[in-house]
Amino acid sequence: LSNGELITWNGKTDEVFSTISSTDEYKPTQLGTVPHMDKDTALEVLESACNAYAKGQGVWPTMKVADRISCMENFVEQMKTKREVVVKYLMWEIGKSLPDSRKEFDRTVEYILDTIEDYKQLDRDSAKFHKKDGVYAHIRRGPLGVVLCLGPYNYPLNETFALLIPALIMGNTVVFKPAKHGVLLLSPLLEAFQKSFPKGVVNVIYGRGREVAAPIMQTGRIDVLALIGNSKSAIALQDQHPHKNRLRLVLGLEAKNPGIILPDADLDLAIEECISGTLSFNGQRCTALKILYVHEDVQEEFNKRFAKRVDELKYGNPWKEGVMLTPLPEPNKPDYIQELIDDAKKYGAKVINERGGARSENYIFPAVLFPVTEEMGIYKEEQFGPVIPIKPFNSIEKLLDEIADSNYGQQVSLFGTGIEKIAPLIDTLVNLVCRVNLNSSCQRGPDVFPFTGRKDSAVGTLSVHDALRSFSIRTFVASKDK
Protein backbone atom coordinates (compact mmCIF):
# COMPACT_ATOMS: atom_id res chain seq x y z
CA LEU A 1 0.00 0.00 0.00
CA SER A 2 1.59 3.25 -1.12
CA ASN A 3 0.08 6.65 -1.83
CA GLY A 4 -3.38 5.14 -1.34
CA GLU A 5 -2.85 2.49 -4.02
CA LEU A 6 -2.36 -1.24 -3.66
CA ILE A 7 0.83 -1.98 -5.57
CA THR A 8 0.95 -5.00 -7.83
CA TRP A 9 4.33 -6.59 -7.56
CA ASN A 10 6.17 -8.40 -10.33
CA GLY A 11 9.54 -8.78 -8.66
CA LYS A 12 11.04 -11.34 -6.33
CA THR A 13 8.75 -13.06 -3.83
CA ASP A 14 9.03 -15.43 -0.89
CA GLU A 15 6.61 -18.26 -0.44
CA VAL A 16 4.84 -18.30 2.88
CA PHE A 17 4.22 -21.70 4.32
CA SER A 18 1.72 -22.39 7.02
CA THR A 19 3.01 -23.13 10.45
CA ILE A 20 0.49 -25.88 10.84
CA SER A 21 -1.15 -28.60 8.87
CA SER A 22 -4.79 -29.51 8.48
CA THR A 23 -3.87 -33.08 9.32
CA ASP A 24 -2.13 -34.17 12.50
CA GLU A 25 0.95 -34.99 10.53
CA TYR A 26 2.98 -31.92 9.67
CA LYS A 27 3.04 -31.17 5.98
CA PRO A 28 3.78 -27.56 5.13
CA THR A 29 1.05 -25.98 3.03
CA GLN A 30 1.70 -22.93 0.94
CA LEU A 31 -0.51 -20.10 2.15
CA GLY A 32 0.60 -17.37 -0.20
CA THR A 33 3.54 -15.40 -1.46
CA VAL A 34 5.09 -12.26 -0.07
CA PRO A 35 6.90 -9.75 -2.23
CA HIS A 36 10.40 -8.62 -1.39
CA MET A 37 10.37 -5.01 -2.26
CA ASP A 38 13.58 -3.66 -3.65
CA LYS A 39 15.26 -0.57 -2.28
CA ASP A 40 13.88 1.77 -4.94
CA THR A 41 10.29 0.71 -4.35
CA ALA A 42 10.74 1.06 -0.58
CA LEU A 43 12.03 4.59 -1.12
CA GLU A 44 9.01 5.40 -3.29
CA VAL A 45 6.76 4.25 -0.45
CA LEU A 46 8.69 6.53 1.91
CA GLU A 47 8.20 9.38 -0.53
CA SER A 48 4.45 8.82 -0.33
CA ALA A 49 4.51 9.12 3.50
CA CYS A 50 6.72 12.24 3.33
CA ASN A 51 4.45 13.86 0.75
CA ALA A 52 1.37 13.19 2.87
CA TYR A 53 3.05 14.72 5.90
CA ALA A 54 4.29 17.61 3.72
CA LYS A 55 6.61 19.00 6.41
CA GLY A 56 3.68 19.33 8.82
CA GLN A 57 1.48 21.10 6.28
CA GLY A 58 -0.29 18.07 4.77
CA VAL A 59 -3.99 17.28 4.99
CA TRP A 60 -3.46 14.72 7.77
CA PRO A 61 -1.23 16.61 10.24
CA THR A 62 -3.41 19.72 9.88
CA MET A 63 -6.74 17.89 9.91
CA LYS A 64 -9.32 18.79 12.59
CA VAL A 65 -9.37 16.38 15.53
CA ALA A 66 -12.99 15.38 14.88
CA ASP A 67 -12.22 14.48 11.27
CA ARG A 68 -9.19 12.43 12.21
CA ILE A 69 -11.32 10.57 14.74
CA SER A 70 -13.94 9.82 12.13
CA CYS A 71 -11.27 8.31 9.80
CA MET A 72 -10.20 6.06 12.68
CA GLU A 73 -13.81 5.10 13.51
CA ASN A 74 -14.46 4.32 9.91
CA PHE A 75 -11.38 2.08 9.86
CA VAL A 76 -12.36 0.15 12.98
CA GLU A 77 -15.87 -0.49 11.66
CA GLN A 78 -14.43 -2.02 8.49
CA MET A 79 -11.84 -3.95 10.45
CA LYS A 80 -14.54 -5.61 12.58
CA THR A 81 -16.04 -7.22 9.46
CA LYS A 82 -12.72 -9.04 8.83
CA ARG A 83 -12.55 -10.83 12.21
CA GLU A 84 -13.10 -14.34 10.92
CA VAL A 85 -10.50 -14.24 8.17
CA VAL A 86 -7.86 -12.54 10.34
CA VAL A 87 -8.39 -15.06 13.16
CA LYS A 88 -7.96 -17.89 10.66
CA TYR A 89 -4.66 -16.42 9.44
CA LEU A 90 -3.44 -15.97 13.01
CA MET A 91 -3.89 -19.70 13.52
CA TRP A 92 -2.39 -20.79 10.21
CA GLU A 93 0.45 -18.35 9.90
CA ILE A 94 1.80 -18.22 13.44
CA GLY A 95 0.08 -21.17 15.11
CA LYS A 96 -1.79 -19.15 17.72
CA SER A 97 -4.61 -21.08 19.43
CA LEU A 98 -8.19 -20.23 18.46
CA PRO A 99 -9.10 -18.56 21.80
CA ASP A 100 -5.85 -16.56 21.78
CA SER A 101 -6.32 -15.56 18.14
CA ARG A 102 -9.84 -14.30 18.87
CA LYS A 103 -8.52 -12.51 21.92
CA GLU A 104 -5.80 -10.82 19.86
CA PHE A 105 -8.33 -9.53 17.37
CA ASP A 106 -10.85 -8.31 19.96
CA ARG A 107 -8.15 -6.78 22.10
CA THR A 108 -6.93 -4.82 19.10
CA VAL A 109 -10.39 -3.46 18.35
CA GLU A 110 -10.67 -2.45 22.01
CA TYR A 111 -7.22 -0.84 21.83
CA ILE A 112 -8.33 1.32 18.91
CA LEU A 113 -11.58 2.33 20.60
CA ASP A 114 -9.76 3.18 23.85
CA THR A 115 -7.21 5.18 21.86
CA ILE A 116 -9.99 7.19 20.25
CA GLU A 117 -11.52 7.93 23.68
CA ASP A 118 -8.16 8.91 25.17
CA TYR A 119 -7.46 11.14 22.20
CA LYS A 120 -10.79 12.91 22.72
CA GLN A 121 -9.81 13.53 26.34
CA LEU A 122 -6.42 14.85 25.25
CA ASP A 123 -8.23 17.24 22.93
CA ARG A 124 -10.56 18.41 25.72
CA ASP A 125 -7.52 19.03 27.93
CA SER A 126 -5.82 21.06 25.23
CA ALA A 127 -8.80 23.42 25.07
CA LYS A 128 -7.91 24.69 28.57
CA PHE A 129 -5.75 27.79 29.02
CA HIS A 130 -2.82 27.91 31.41
CA LYS A 131 -1.85 31.27 32.89
CA LYS A 132 1.41 32.31 34.52
CA ASP A 133 2.95 35.76 34.93
CA GLY A 134 0.36 37.36 32.66
CA VAL A 135 0.94 34.88 29.84
CA TYR A 136 -1.82 32.60 28.59
CA ALA A 137 -0.66 29.31 27.09
CA HIS A 138 -2.79 27.11 24.95
CA ILE A 139 -0.91 23.80 25.21
CA ARG A 140 -1.65 20.91 22.89
CA ARG A 141 0.10 17.91 21.41
CA GLY A 142 1.30 17.85 17.84
CA PRO A 143 2.65 15.17 15.48
CA LEU A 144 6.34 14.36 15.12
CA GLY A 145 6.50 13.59 11.41
CA VAL A 146 7.08 10.37 9.50
CA VAL A 147 7.13 7.14 11.50
CA LEU A 148 8.81 3.89 10.47
CA CYS A 149 6.99 1.16 12.31
CA LEU A 150 8.05 -2.51 12.51
CA GLY A 151 5.83 -5.12 14.14
CA PRO A 152 6.68 -8.51 15.69
CA TYR A 153 5.52 -11.99 14.62
CA ASN A 154 4.10 -13.04 17.98
CA TYR A 155 1.41 -10.33 17.99
CA PRO A 156 1.35 -9.42 14.30
CA LEU A 157 -1.94 -7.63 14.66
CA ASN A 158 -2.12 -6.30 18.19
CA GLU A 159 1.40 -5.07 18.70
CA THR A 160 1.79 -3.71 15.20
CA PHE A 161 -1.39 -1.73 15.82
CA ALA A 162 -0.24 -0.69 19.29
CA LEU A 163 2.39 1.34 17.40
CA LEU A 164 0.50 2.22 14.26
CA ILE A 165 -2.79 3.47 15.72
CA PRO A 166 -1.44 6.02 18.23
CA ALA A 167 1.13 7.18 15.66
CA LEU A 168 -1.65 7.82 13.13
CA ILE A 169 -4.19 9.43 15.41
CA MET A 170 -1.63 11.97 16.58
CA GLY A 171 -1.26 13.18 12.98
CA ASN A 172 1.93 11.40 11.91
CA THR A 173 2.17 9.53 8.63
CA VAL A 174 3.48 5.98 8.70
CA VAL A 175 5.48 3.46 6.73
CA PHE A 176 5.02 0.08 8.36
CA LYS A 177 6.66 -3.24 7.83
CA PRO A 178 4.94 -6.32 9.21
CA ALA A 179 6.99 -9.28 10.40
CA LYS A 180 7.55 -12.13 7.94
CA HIS A 181 5.39 -14.55 9.93
CA GLY A 182 2.04 -12.85 10.20
CA VAL A 183 2.32 -10.75 7.07
CA LEU A 184 -0.62 -12.30 5.25
CA LEU A 185 -3.14 -11.63 7.99
CA LEU A 186 -2.76 -7.91 7.40
CA SER A 187 -3.79 -8.17 3.74
CA PRO A 188 -7.55 -8.28 4.47
CA LEU A 189 -7.12 -4.95 6.29
CA LEU A 190 -5.25 -3.07 3.57
CA GLU A 191 -8.44 -2.08 1.81
CA ALA A 192 -9.84 -0.71 5.07
CA PHE A 193 -6.75 1.49 5.42
CA GLN A 194 -7.09 2.57 1.83
CA LYS A 195 -10.74 3.55 2.24
CA SER A 196 -10.40 5.24 5.65
CA PHE A 197 -7.33 7.46 5.46
CA PRO A 198 -6.15 10.14 3.02
CA LYS A 199 -3.60 9.04 0.43
CA GLY A 200 -0.12 8.36 1.73
CA VAL A 201 -1.00 8.43 5.43
CA VAL A 202 -0.66 4.64 5.84
CA ASN A 203 1.95 2.89 3.71
CA VAL A 204 3.22 -0.67 3.83
CA ILE A 205 6.54 -2.19 2.87
CA TYR A 206 7.39 -5.88 2.74
CA GLY A 207 10.72 -7.62 2.61
CA ARG A 208 13.97 -7.97 4.51
CA GLY A 209 14.86 -5.26 7.00
CA ARG A 210 18.31 -4.60 5.58
CA GLU A 211 16.93 -4.30 2.05
CA VAL A 212 13.93 -2.07 2.72
CA ALA A 213 14.01 -0.56 6.23
CA ALA A 214 17.73 0.29 6.33
CA PRO A 215 17.69 2.39 3.11
CA ILE A 216 14.67 4.27 4.43
CA MET A 217 16.53 5.11 7.63
CA GLN A 218 19.60 6.20 5.65
CA THR A 219 17.62 9.00 4.02
CA GLY A 220 17.35 10.76 7.39
CA ARG A 221 13.68 11.46 6.65
CA ILE A 222 12.32 9.30 9.47
CA ASP A 223 11.35 11.17 12.62
CA VAL A 224 10.28 8.22 14.76
CA LEU A 225 11.51 4.64 14.80
CA ALA A 226 8.82 2.46 16.39
CA LEU A 227 9.71 -1.19 16.74
CA ILE A 228 8.65 -4.19 18.75
CA GLY A 229 11.22 -6.93 18.41
CA ASN A 230 14.83 -7.51 19.31
CA SER A 231 17.40 -4.95 20.44
CA LYS A 232 19.85 -5.96 17.72
CA SER A 233 17.47 -4.92 14.93
CA ALA A 234 16.53 -1.73 16.76
CA ILE A 235 20.18 -0.68 17.22
CA ALA A 236 21.10 -1.64 13.65
CA LEU A 237 18.28 0.51 12.24
CA GLN A 238 18.92 3.40 14.57
CA ASP A 239 22.57 3.41 13.47
CA GLN A 240 21.54 3.89 9.84
CA HIS A 241 20.01 7.30 10.56
CA PRO A 242 22.39 10.17 9.70
CA HIS A 243 21.01 12.39 12.51
CA LYS A 244 20.40 9.99 15.37
CA ASN A 245 19.87 12.80 17.85
CA ARG A 246 16.75 13.89 15.92
CA LEU A 247 15.22 10.45 15.99
CA ARG A 248 12.49 9.65 18.52
CA LEU A 249 12.50 6.01 19.62
CA VAL A 250 9.52 3.96 20.72
CA LEU A 251 10.82 0.45 21.33
CA GLY A 252 9.43 -2.69 22.94
CA LEU A 253 12.37 -5.07 23.18
CA GLU A 254 13.56 -8.19 24.96
CA ALA A 255 13.02 -9.37 28.50
CA LYS A 256 13.97 -12.22 30.80
CA ASN A 257 11.16 -11.89 33.33
CA PRO A 258 11.78 -13.92 36.50
CA GLY A 259 9.18 -15.77 38.53
CA ILE A 260 10.16 -15.87 42.22
CA ILE A 261 8.67 -18.59 44.37
CA LEU A 262 9.06 -17.78 48.08
CA PRO A 263 8.96 -20.50 50.79
CA ASP A 264 5.42 -19.57 51.88
CA ALA A 265 3.95 -19.38 48.35
CA ASP A 266 0.63 -21.04 47.60
CA LEU A 267 2.14 -23.72 45.38
CA ASP A 268 -1.11 -24.70 43.62
CA LEU A 269 -1.55 -21.12 42.49
CA ALA A 270 2.14 -20.56 41.74
CA ILE A 271 2.34 -23.69 39.57
CA GLU A 272 -0.72 -22.80 37.48
CA GLU A 273 0.45 -19.21 36.99
CA CYS A 274 3.96 -20.37 36.07
CA ILE A 275 2.51 -22.80 33.53
CA SER A 276 0.63 -20.04 31.70
CA GLY A 277 3.41 -17.53 32.34
CA THR A 278 6.12 -19.70 30.79
CA LEU A 279 4.18 -21.54 28.12
CA SER A 280 1.23 -19.61 26.78
CA PHE A 281 1.84 -19.23 23.05
CA ASN A 282 4.80 -21.56 23.62
CA GLY A 283 6.70 -18.89 25.55
CA GLN A 284 6.90 -16.63 22.48
CA ARG A 285 5.91 -13.50 24.42
CA CYS A 286 8.24 -10.77 25.58
CA THR A 287 6.31 -10.86 28.86
CA ALA A 288 6.69 -14.63 29.32
CA LEU A 289 8.31 -15.87 32.51
CA LYS A 290 11.71 -16.89 31.17
CA ILE A 291 13.38 -18.07 34.36
CA LEU A 292 11.96 -19.41 37.63
CA TYR A 293 13.77 -18.84 40.93
CA VAL A 294 12.49 -21.35 43.46
CA HIS A 295 13.42 -21.16 47.16
CA GLU A 296 15.35 -24.23 48.34
CA ASP A 297 12.72 -24.99 51.02
CA VAL A 298 10.02 -25.69 48.43
CA GLN A 299 12.15 -26.60 45.45
CA GLU A 300 11.68 -30.37 45.58
CA GLU A 301 7.91 -30.21 45.77
CA PHE A 302 7.63 -27.38 43.23
CA ASN A 303 9.86 -29.13 40.70
CA LYS A 304 8.03 -32.45 40.97
CA ARG A 305 4.57 -30.97 40.60
CA PHE A 306 5.51 -28.39 37.97
CA ALA A 307 7.28 -30.98 35.76
CA LYS A 308 4.23 -33.27 35.97
CA ARG A 309 1.89 -30.42 35.03
CA VAL A 310 4.03 -29.53 31.99
CA ASP A 311 3.89 -33.15 30.81
CA GLU A 312 0.07 -33.07 30.99
CA LEU A 313 -0.20 -30.19 28.49
CA LYS A 314 -1.80 -30.94 25.14
CA TYR A 315 -0.02 -30.28 21.85
CA GLY A 316 -1.88 -29.94 18.56
CA ASN A 317 -3.32 -27.71 15.87
CA PRO A 318 -4.51 -24.34 17.15
CA TRP A 319 -8.24 -24.87 16.63
CA LYS A 320 -8.36 -28.05 18.73
CA GLU A 321 -10.14 -27.78 22.06
CA GLY A 322 -7.91 -27.65 25.13
CA VAL A 323 -4.65 -27.33 23.19
CA MET A 324 -2.03 -25.10 24.78
CA LEU A 325 1.10 -26.09 22.86
CA THR A 326 0.97 -25.37 19.15
CA PRO A 327 3.41 -25.53 16.19
CA LEU A 328 6.21 -22.98 16.08
CA PRO A 329 6.27 -20.53 13.14
CA GLU A 330 10.04 -20.12 13.05
CA PRO A 331 11.49 -23.21 11.37
CA ASN A 332 14.82 -22.97 13.22
CA LYS A 333 13.30 -22.56 16.67
CA PRO A 334 13.22 -26.27 17.66
CA ASP A 335 16.95 -26.56 16.83
CA TYR A 336 17.76 -23.44 18.81
CA ILE A 337 15.83 -24.70 21.84
CA GLN A 338 17.60 -28.05 21.50
CA GLU A 339 20.97 -26.28 21.57
CA LEU A 340 20.01 -24.47 24.77
CA ILE A 341 19.00 -27.77 26.36
CA ASP A 342 22.24 -29.51 25.29
CA ASP A 343 24.34 -26.62 26.55
CA ALA A 344 22.57 -26.63 29.94
CA LYS A 345 23.11 -30.37 30.24
CA LYS A 346 26.81 -29.89 29.56
CA TYR A 347 26.99 -27.67 32.65
CA GLY A 348 25.11 -30.14 34.85
CA ALA A 349 21.39 -29.36 34.43
CA LYS A 350 18.87 -32.14 33.91
CA VAL A 351 15.62 -32.23 32.01
CA ILE A 352 13.25 -33.04 34.87
CA ASN A 353 10.04 -33.74 32.94
CA GLU A 354 9.56 -36.99 31.04
CA ARG A 355 8.42 -35.49 27.73
CA GLY A 356 10.89 -32.59 27.79
CA GLY A 357 12.72 -32.12 24.47
CA ALA A 358 10.60 -34.59 22.44
CA ARG A 359 10.84 -33.45 18.80
CA SER A 360 8.65 -33.31 15.75
CA GLU A 361 9.20 -31.42 12.51
CA ASN A 362 7.96 -28.06 13.76
CA TYR A 363 7.84 -28.50 17.51
CA ILE A 364 9.89 -29.35 20.56
CA PHE A 365 8.09 -30.33 23.76
CA PRO A 366 8.88 -27.93 26.65
CA ALA A 367 11.88 -29.05 28.67
CA VAL A 368 12.09 -28.08 32.36
CA LEU A 369 15.79 -27.61 33.19
CA PHE A 370 17.16 -27.86 36.72
CA PRO A 371 19.43 -26.68 38.31
CA VAL A 372 20.31 -23.77 36.06
CA THR A 373 23.54 -21.86 36.66
CA GLU A 374 24.99 -18.60 35.40
CA GLU A 375 27.37 -20.04 32.82
CA MET A 376 24.53 -21.61 30.81
CA GLY A 377 23.17 -20.00 27.64
CA ILE A 378 19.62 -20.46 28.91
CA TYR A 379 20.45 -18.28 31.93
CA LYS A 380 21.50 -15.34 29.76
CA GLU A 381 19.49 -15.60 26.56
CA GLU A 382 15.88 -14.69 25.96
CA GLN A 383 14.77 -18.11 24.75
CA PHE A 384 11.41 -16.96 23.33
CA GLY A 385 10.23 -20.56 23.09
CA PRO A 386 9.29 -23.71 25.01
CA VAL A 387 12.08 -24.32 27.53
CA ILE A 388 11.90 -23.46 31.23
CA PRO A 389 15.00 -22.92 33.36
CA ILE A 390 14.67 -23.27 37.14
CA LYS A 391 17.35 -21.84 39.42
CA PRO A 392 17.30 -22.56 43.16
CA PHE A 393 17.94 -19.76 45.68
CA ASN A 394 18.27 -19.37 49.43
CA SER A 395 19.19 -15.70 49.83
CA ILE A 396 16.74 -13.05 48.71
CA GLU A 397 19.51 -10.39 48.85
CA LYS A 398 21.66 -12.32 46.37
CA LEU A 399 18.64 -12.89 44.15
CA LEU A 400 17.84 -9.17 44.10
CA ASP A 401 21.43 -8.44 43.10
CA GLU A 402 21.16 -10.94 40.29
CA ILE A 403 17.97 -9.33 38.97
CA ALA A 404 19.54 -5.88 39.32
CA ASP A 405 22.57 -7.01 37.29
CA SER A 406 20.45 -8.36 34.42
CA ASN A 407 20.49 -6.47 31.12
CA TYR A 408 16.71 -6.46 31.18
CA GLY A 409 14.13 -4.87 33.44
CA GLN A 410 10.58 -5.43 32.30
CA GLN A 411 8.53 -7.38 34.89
CA VAL A 412 8.72 -9.84 37.77
CA SER A 413 6.19 -12.30 39.20
CA LEU A 414 6.38 -12.75 42.95
CA PHE A 415 4.69 -15.69 44.63
CA GLY A 416 4.33 -15.48 48.40
CA THR A 417 1.76 -14.84 51.11
CA GLY A 418 1.41 -12.07 53.67
CA ILE A 419 1.48 -8.78 51.83
CA GLU A 420 2.82 -6.88 54.86
CA LYS A 421 5.76 -9.22 55.15
CA ILE A 422 6.70 -8.98 51.49
CA ALA A 423 5.95 -5.25 51.07
CA PRO A 424 9.63 -4.16 51.43
CA LEU A 425 10.60 -6.74 48.81
CA ILE A 426 7.96 -5.39 46.43
CA ASP A 427 9.24 -1.84 47.01
CA THR A 428 12.74 -2.94 46.01
CA LEU A 429 11.61 -4.95 43.00
CA VAL A 430 9.76 -2.01 41.45
CA ASN A 431 13.11 -0.21 41.38
CA LEU A 432 14.58 -3.03 39.31
CA VAL A 433 11.75 -3.63 36.83
CA CYS A 434 8.63 -1.75 35.78
CA ARG A 435 5.84 -4.05 36.90
CA VAL A 436 5.66 -6.47 39.83
CA ASN A 437 2.91 -9.07 39.51
CA LEU A 438 1.79 -10.44 42.85
CA ASN A 439 0.84 -14.11 42.75
CA SER A 440 0.19 -13.90 39.04
CA SER A 441 2.18 -14.34 35.85
CA CYS A 442 3.64 -11.42 33.90
CA GLN A 443 1.60 -9.81 31.16
CA ARG A 444 1.21 -6.63 29.17
CA GLY A 445 -2.51 -6.06 29.62
CA PRO A 446 -4.89 -4.53 30.37
CA ASP A 447 -3.63 -2.21 27.65
CA VAL A 448 -4.54 0.93 29.55
CA PHE A 449 -1.78 0.19 32.09
CA PRO A 450 1.78 1.36 31.37
CA PHE A 451 3.79 -1.13 29.35
CA THR A 452 7.50 -0.45 29.41
CA GLY A 453 10.84 -1.69 30.75
CA ARG A 454 14.21 -0.60 32.07
CA LYS A 455 17.64 -1.09 30.44
CA ASP A 456 17.55 -3.17 27.24
CA SER A 457 13.84 -3.97 27.56
CA ALA A 458 12.21 -0.82 26.20
CA VAL A 459 12.45 2.81 25.19
CA GLY A 460 9.25 4.78 25.75
CA THR A 461 5.95 3.50 27.09
CA LEU A 462 3.24 1.69 25.18
CA SER A 463 -0.09 1.83 26.91
CA VAL A 464 -3.09 3.45 25.26
CA HIS A 465 -2.54 6.62 27.26
CA ASP A 466 1.27 6.74 27.10
CA ALA A 467 1.53 5.83 23.42
CA LEU A 468 -0.38 8.97 22.42
CA ARG A 469 2.33 10.91 24.23
CA SER A 470 5.18 8.80 22.83
CA PHE A 471 4.09 9.66 19.27
CA SER A 472 3.62 13.39 19.81
CA ILE A 473 5.24 16.50 21.17
CA ARG A 474 3.84 19.26 23.38
CA THR A 475 3.45 22.54 21.53
CA PHE A 476 1.73 25.74 22.53
CA VAL A 477 0.56 29.15 21.57
CA ALA A 478 1.39 31.89 24.06
CA SER A 479 -0.35 35.24 24.23
CA LYS A 480 -1.08 38.07 26.62
CA ASP A 481 -4.81 37.75 25.95
CA LYS A 482 -7.04 34.76 26.24
Interface residues toward ligand G3H, by CB under 6 A: 154-155, 159, 285-287, 443-445
Residue (221 or 435) nearer to ligand G3H, CB: 435
Residue (248 or 285) nearer to ligand G3H, CB: 285
**Nearest distance in Å: CB 177, ligand G3H:** 17
CA distance linking residue 66 with residue 84, whole number of Å: 30
Please enumerate in sequence order all residues whose Cβ is within 8 A of that of 325, keeping only pairs 6 or more positions apart, or say none.
Answer: 279, 282, 313, 314, 315, 316, 363, 365, 366, 386
**Nearest distance in Å: CB 3, ligand G3H:** 31
Q: Which of 85, 40, 99, 93 has the alpha carbon at shortest distance from 192? A: 85
Residue (180 or 241) nearer to ligand G3H, CB: 180
**Nearest distance in Å: CB 44, ligand G3H:** 32
CA distance linking residue 476 with residue 123, whole number of Å: 13
Residue (223 or 466) nearer to ligand G3H, CB: 466
| Residues in the chain, overall count | 482
**Nearest distance in Å: CB 300, ligand G3H:** 30
Residue type, 70: S
CA distance linking residue 226 with residue 229, whole number of Å: 10
Q: Which of 235, 189, 243, 185 has the alpha carbon at shortest distance from 209? A: 235
Q: Which of 95, 371, 71, 93 has the alpha carbon at shortest distance from 197? A: 71
Residue (443 or 472) nearer to ligand G3H, CB: 443
Report CA-CA distances (Å) from 329 to 359, 381, 403. Answer: 15, 19, 30
Q: Does the bond joining 424 to the residue before it have cis omega, within 30 degrees of 0?
A: no
Residue nearest to ligand G3H (CB): 286
Residue (152 or 392) nearer to ligand G3H, CB: 152
**Nearest distance in Å: CB 178, ligand G3H:** 15
**Nearest distance in Å: CB 101, ligand G3H:** 13
